[in-house]
Chain A
Amino acid sequence: MSTATAFEKARAEGRATLVGYLPAGYPSVDGSITAIRAMVDAGVDVVEVGLPYTDPLIDGPTIQTAVNAALQAGTRTPDVLRVVEAVAETGTPAVVMSYWNPLARYGADAFARDLAAAGGAGVITPDLTPDATDEWIPAARSRDLDTVFLVAPSSTDERIAMTTDACRGFVYATSVMGVTGTREQVGDAAAVLVERTRKATDLPVAVGLGVSNADQAAEIAGFADGVVVGSAFVRRMLDAADVDDGVAAVAALAGELSGGVRRR
C-alpha cells in the first residue's frame, strides 16, 4: 500500500492517520522487526523506520540513546532495508526516516533502487530541504518513492510552498521549534502551521514532535491529517525489561493512540 492510499483510507473513515516511528536495529534488527509488526497489528497506519546515524541533530535524548545502541550493535544500512522489507510484507507502508549523509554515502540512486526493491514507500529527510539537493528528488521519482520534507513554524510562506511542491505522499509539519521528545503540550503553533501548509498544498499534512498519548493524538487529529509518534514508542522499548516486554508496551501504546486518532 502507498502512503497516499493509507491517508485516503483514514480520511474515508473520518479519522486521522497514525504514523509510528521506531529505529531499525534496536534492540536488535530482529527485535525492531518484532516491535514494528506489533505496532502495525495494534493500529499504526504508516511506519517510519529510523536509519540510525551518529549525529542525529534534530533528535532528543530518547531517540539518540536508541540509535546509538543500534549503531553499537552493528546496524548497517542493508539491515535497515531488511526491516523495511519485513514491514512492507504486512501491507502497511514503510517510509525510511534518515539524515542525508548515510543516503549520500550509499548513493542516492542506489538507495532509491534498493529501497524500492525492499517494498519501501519513501523517505523522510529531516536535515535535507528540497533546495539543498539536486539528486535526491529525481532519484526517488524514478523509483516511484515518496519524498517527505519538513515544514516548521519558522518557515516563511514562500518556503512552505517550495517545500510542499517537492513533497510526495505527505508533508511533515513539526509542531514546535525543537528536537524530538515527548512534551506536555504540543501547542497552538501546530494548528497554525497546518493551516498555512494547507493553503499551499492538497497533500495530507502529518504533525510530529512531542506527541505521546491518546489525548494529544486526538487534539492533533482535530486539525491535521496525520499524527506522528516517535519518542514515546522508543521510550517504551528503552524502559522495558526485555524485548517481549517492550513489544507489549509498544503495542499497548499503539492501541491507545489508535483510539486517539479516531476520537477527533
Chain B
Amino acid sequence: MDTKPDDSAGPAPVSAPDRPGRFGPYGGRYVPEALVAALDELDREYRAAAASPEFHAELDQLLAEYTGRPTPLTDAWRFGAEAASGARILLKREDLNHTGSHKINNVLGQALLTRRIGKHRVIAETGAGQHGVATATAAALMGLECVIYMGEEDTRRQALNVARMELLGATVVPVTTGSRTLKDAINEALRDWVTNVETTNYVFGTVAGPHPFPSLVRDLQRVIGDEAREQVLERTGRLPDAVAACVGGGSNAIGIFHAFVDDADVRLCGYEAGGDGVATGRHAATITAGAPGVLHGARSYLLQDDMGQTVESHSISAGLDYPGVGPEHSWLKDSGRATYEPVDDAEAMEAFRLLCRTEGIIPAIESAHALAGARRLGAALGPDAVIVVNLSGRGDKDVDTAARWFGLLEADETDEATGDES
C-alpha cells in the first residue's frame, strides 16, 4: 500500500505523466543509447516487482523491522510558539530512520530490485553522504558490492560520512572533475554504469535522472506522505493547511507531497537552497532562478547559462547543492499545485538553531530550509494554522559545519576536532 506500482496508479492526475516518463514537458530520457537497455530493464523489473505481493511484503518488513517505520509525527509545540508565530508545527520524523534520513526508504527498494534483476554490484552518487551511507547500508545488508561516487569537495565537507561508508564496506571514489560536487558525482556514476551495466545497478538517490528514476524513487518515498496524512488526520482531526519540505533533487519533498496532491486546500511548499542569496548568483535555487533544460538525462528546471552550460550551485547544505531538480517538481510548479521559494544559508541556520533550542532536535541543514519555510508559513497563516514539516534528516553529520557557522570552534581547532571524532 505504500509503494504503488506505476504512474497511472498515483493519486495525482495533475502530475501523472502524459506518456511514460513525462511530466508535462518535463522528464523523459536523454541518455546515451548504451544505457537505454538497462533503463528499460529497470523499468520492466520495477513494474513486475510493484505488482508482486512478495516484493511488497519483503519491503514492508524491512521498513518496519530494519528502518523503524512508521516514523513518528512530533508536535513541535515550543518551536511553533516561539519561532513560528504560534502555528501548530508537526514534524514528520524521517530523521529517526535507520541511517538518519529518508534516503533509506528508496535504497531498500532499489537494493531489493537489484537482487531481483540478478546483479551483484551497486553504484550511487552522494552529496552530503546521506544517500551514500544509505546505499552502503543496504548493500551490506544484502551482500552487494558497493561503489559510491562523491565530489572531492563534499568528501572534505562530510568526512565522517566517508568513514561511515567505508566502515560499511563500500568503496568511496572522490570525484575530481568539474565542480567536484554532487553534479559531477552523478556524471562519474553514469560513466561507471555505461561501462559496467551488465553487472551493475545504479541506485539513484533522488527523483531526477532519466525515466524510470523520477517515478521509481517517488513511489518508494511516497510512504512518507501516506503515513503523515494518516497521522495528521488522527492527531488533529483535519488536514493540514500546508506541507513544507526542502528541495534539492526533491525526493523527500515529492515523498511527502504526493499523498496531499489531491487535497486542493493543502498548500504544498518547497524550499530551495538560496545560498548566499539568489541575487548574488551563489545559490542552488533551481526552480526559482533556473530555466528548463536537460541535465543528467531529464528535462527540468536547471541552473544554466545562455549557452546551455550548467552553472555551479552553492549552498551551505551539501545535500541541496545541485543545479538540477526532479522533473515532477517542475511540473508541479508550472501547474501551480506547489510553490517553491528560496531560503538562504543565514535563514536556514537560524531555523536550525531555533529547533535545537526549542525542541532538543538537531536537524540536518537540508531540513532546516523546510523549518525556515514553516516559520514563514506560520507568519502568513497565523496561530490557527497546522503545518506539517518533513524533517528529512538528522544533523549529526552537520555538527562540524554548524559549529563553524556559529563560531563554536576556533579555526585552528577545527581540523583537529574533525580528526578526533573520526
Contact = CB atoms under 8 A, between A and B. Distances in A.
Interface stretch (B97-105, B110-118, B302-310): B302-310
B380 to A, nearest CB: 36
Contacts of A31: none
A64 B36 CA distance: 23
A156 B37 contact: yes
A55 B310 contact: yes
A77 B307 contact: yes
Nearest to B32: A58
A55 B295 contact: yes
B38 interface: yes
B282 interface: no
A54 B311 CA distance: 9
B253 to A, nearest CB: 24
Given A57-B32, A132-B30, A149-B33, A179 B294 contact: no
Contacts of A153: 34
Contacts of A174: 32-34
Given A154-B34, A178-B195, 10 more contacts: A101-B295, A104-B293, A104-B308, A105-B304, A105-B307, A132-B30, A154-B37, A159-B37, A177-B197, A179-B195
A251 interface: no
9 contacts: A54-B178, A71-B309, A101-B308, A105-B304, A127-B31, A132-B28, A150-B32, A152-B37, A178-B195
A180 B248 CA distance: 30
Given A77-B307, A104-B308, A154-B197, A129 B33 contact: yes
A54 B305 CA distance: 11
B187 interface: yes
Nearest to B183: A55
Given A105-B293, A177-B195, A154 B32 contact: no
A58 B193 CA distance: 10
A163 interface: yes
B194 interface: yes
B33 A155 contact: yes
Contacts of B293: 101, 104-105
A62 B183 CA distance: 19
A56 B30 CA distance: 13
Contacts of A129: 29, 31, 33, 36
Contacts of A178: 34, 194-195
B337 interface: no
Pairs A-B, 3 closest by C-beta atoms: A105-B308, A152-B34, A102-B308
Interface of A: 53-58, 60-61, 64, 68, 71, 76-77, 100-106, 126-129, 132, 149-156, 159, 163, 174, 177-179
Contacts of B262: none
A105 B306 contact: yes
A13 to B, nearest CB: 30
A154 B191 contact: no
Nearest to B299: A104
A71 B304 CA distance: 14
B371 interface: no
B263 interface: no
A155 B308 contact: no
B38 A154 contact: yes
Identify the interface centre among A56, A132, A151: most chain B CB within 10 Å of its CB.
A132
Nearest to A209: B34
B30 A128 contact: yes
A152 B177 contact: no
B198 interface: yes
B33 A150 contact: yes
B95 to A, nearest CB: 32
Contacts of B184: 55
Given A55-B310, A60-B191, A177-B34, A101 B294 contact: yes
B33 A159 contact: yes
Contacts of B37: 152, 154-156, 159
